[in-house]
Structure 1
């Protein structure tokens, strides 16, 4: 609550710099108020040192990364914009989503967005499995218009590096959006020469890594994205079962 009021007042008094400072100060006060209700000031500072980024920061950072993907190929796709808006409404509700977009348009959108800075922040404060879901979300945006361009892939790859995503995991998620003879193997992170036992072992490993239960701490829309990723792993395994006859 305080962060929105402080951002608006800061913008009115000092334009963009005031809005940014006001938003950050208001976010701190919101967290402080929550700490008073749930166990004191210590919790606020413990949260800052944990692997979780505050909700307000996460929402704006996620929207910023989404904007980089949408603009990557030099054109703005309405299908991609609609996908992002639908996701935020589903995850946070219509009123909160509209507030997020309003702050983004008034404050963040007017300055250059740094994918490297955002990636570094999220890498330090988010669990690895949650960062994997961010990458999956970005590919889903790029695919919303039915085609993932090379420019979009390059942008997502750059963001993934800053998020600290391992290349094999990036290629696995990427393969979920490109259909070719090697897709099932890439999703399971194995070579075409893999034995049946290696395929089974890889499936168990990937099913455990991408299991939706690992994202129970995140919003429902994120968990649904995890379910989609988990389903792709299952489909890849079933495809190889048919190909190899086991």
Structure 2
């Protein structure tokens, strides 16, 4: 460590007083180095894991990109994000995260590519699917999801390594049209009843809430919402096809 190296050098130059000064100076530099690495983690550097604080800041950073995507910063969307964080992490921790975000990250350009590269390396695929659902929920908080918001979330999905069919499945949960149920189940309108049943079983496994037990309560609740949409899509096709 730097503190011991400077202590030894100080001893050779100024004996014991130099060793003490070198140790103190080295300690200060070591602490600055650690803080710098922790801050840089939010922008995609190669740390070995994502701490809870890092994950929250990265999630908030991606949320801010979606909120600003259409050029209209909606207070409803901002309130949704704050409430989500309070529910997931508690009021004190959420406030601390927002404070750091306001003081530091908002002053710098946010790189979705760097953040997503880190998350892709350090989080499970089902967790990244839940991040997409969260981002769509933000965009939908004011009652509609704009084209600009869809494009931004699609860009983030690409950086996260999410497959196109999974992106379209989650997207369809926020748009009502004749093809929505099919897209949620990741099948075409020409699918047979047997293919619909198979697709349903596959999606139940993919979106089952148990896959998010490692995440906080708010994320688990979002997982339950995805699971419910899959069930509703299947029930809709059962009625349409009569099986």
The TM-score with structure 1 as length reference comes to 0.81
- Stretches of structure 1 that go unaligned for 5 or more consecutive residues are 1-17, 29-47
State yes or no: 1:139 paired with 2:152. Answer: no
Change (3 A) 1:21 1:102: farther
Match of 1:182 in 2: 179
Shift of 1:188: 0.1
Shift of 1:71: 0.2
Shift of 1:24: 4.1
Match of 1:232 in 2: 229
Q: Distance in 1 between matches of 2:133 and 2:36?
A: 28
Match of 1:44 in 2: none
Q: Distance in 2 between matches of 1:242 and 1:186?
A: 17
Change (3 A) 1:136 1:55: same
Q: Distance in 1 between matches of 2:115 and 2:140?
A: 22
Cα RMSD of the aligned pairs, angstroms, is: 2.0
Match of 1:6 in 2: none
Conserved 8 A contact 1:83-1:144: yes
Q: Distance in 1 between matches of 2:215 and 2:230?
A: 21
- Which of 121, 124, 147 is residue 121 of structure 2 equivalent to? 124
Conserved 8 A contact 1:27-1:56: no
Change (3 A) 1:27 1:239: same
State yes or no: 1:194 paired with 2:207. Answer: no
Match of 2:206 in 1: 209
Match of 2:53 in 1: 56
Number of aligned residue pairs: give it: 208
Shift of 1:169: 0.2
- Stretches of structure 2 that go unaligned for 5 or more consecutive residues are 1-30, 42-46
Q: Which has the larger radius of gyration?
A: 2
The TM-score with structure 2 as length reference comes to 0.82
Match of 1:89 in 2: 86
Which deviations, in whole Å up to 9, do the C-alpha atoms of 1:194-226 show, x marking residues without a partner? 000100000000001000000000000000000
